[in-house]
A and B are shown apart, each in its own frame.
Chain A
Amino acid sequence: AQSVAQPEDQVNVAEGNPLTVKCTYSVSGNPYLFWYVQYPNRGLQFLLKYITGDNLVKGSYGFEAEFNKSQTSFHLKKPSALVSDSALYFCAVRESNYQLIWGAGTKLIIKP
């Protein structure tokens, strides 16, 4: 069965520092991987996806993620964090019928 793991419940980063939110996956076949962000009391917003092609994927708001097949990881990164990046981040893998298998979420806190 496919699964997604986000090992950190919370990540704290100082504003201006680089940030990484970790995600590992387990799939049979080629993975379709996604990152979504959720702001308080809001729905989710799509950040970026990996389907095929370059391992480094660039997305919205300056975020990027690196697909690493050997380590089965898809970590979310940003070179310089902003306080406004504070939110809940979800990694997900898609099954063939569009259903997403979700990670548990990581709360990102950026301190000024």
Chain B
Amino acid sequence: GAVVSQHPSRVICKSGTSVKIECRSLDFQATTMFWYRQFPKQSLMLMATSNEGSKATYEQGVEKDKFLINHASLTLSTLTVTSAHPEDSSFYICSAAGGSNSPLHFGNGTRLTVT
């Protein structure tokens, strides 16, 4: 079945540095990918919609200059957390759809800890 690979699964970084998270669709082309953030014991919060070849669409309240999204190909989207701060520590999840009426497939998530 369709698989979405997300890397890294865990990352610890120092405050002020940048972290890049990759999301790859392994056996299907995804023109649209989604990035979510999940706080402990809470539901997913959609951060942005990543469209191949165009700018991402950010949800209200999400800083586009802080959370840089690049969707350079039909199988890869990246999320870069720039100048990370401890409050950026969270669980980030990407997802992609293989086509109309197909369920979204999710990466395994990235646990980001900013010290």
**Which A residues fall within an 8 A CB radius of B?**
32, 34, 36, 41-46, 49, 51, 90, 97-100, 102-105
* Residue of chain B at shortest CB distance from A42: B108
List B contacts of A43 (CB < 8 A).
Answer: 4, 6, 93, 95, 106-109
List A contacts of B54 (CB < 8 A).
Answer: none
B61 to chain A, nearest CB (A): 16
Contact of B42 among A44, A51, A98, A104 (CB under 8 A): A104
CB-based closest 4 A-B pairs: A43-B106, A43-B108, A44-B106, A43-B109
- The answer to whether B34 touches A46 (Cβ under 8 A) is no
B65 to chain A, nearest CB (A): 22
List B contacts of A51 (CB < 8 A).
Answer: 101
- The answer to whether A45 touches B106 (Cβ under 8 A) is yes
* Residue of chain A at shortest CB distance from B59: A99
Majority-rule SS of A interface residues: loop
| CA distance in complex: A105, B4 (Å) | 22
| CA distance in complex: A43, B109 (Å) | 5
B58 to chain A, nearest CB (A): 13
> Is B85 part of the contact surface with A, judged by Cβ < 8 Å?
no
B80 to chain A, nearest CB (A): 19
List B contacts of A49 (CB < 8 A).
Answer: 103
Contact of B43 among A45, A98, A99, A102 (CB under 8 A): A102
- The answer to whether A97 touches B103 (Cβ under 8 A) is no
| CA distance in complex: A36, B106 (Å) | 10
- The answer to whether B43 touches A105 (Cβ under 8 A) is yes
Question: Which residues 30-75 in B have Cβ within 8 Å of A in the complex?
Answer: 32, 34, 42-44, 46, 49
- The answer to whether B104 touches A41 (Cβ under 8 A) is no
> Is B28 part of the contact surface with A, judged by Cβ < 8 Å?
no
- The answer to whether A98 touches B97 (Cβ under 8 A) is yes
| CA distance in complex: A42, B4 (Å) | 13
- The answer to whether A99 touches B109 (Cβ under 8 A) is no
14 A-B contacts (beta carbon < 8 Å): A41-B111, A42-B108, A43-B4, A44-B95, A44-B106, A49-B103, A51-B101, A98-B97, A99-B34, A99-B46, A100-B34, A100-B46, A104-B43, A105-B43
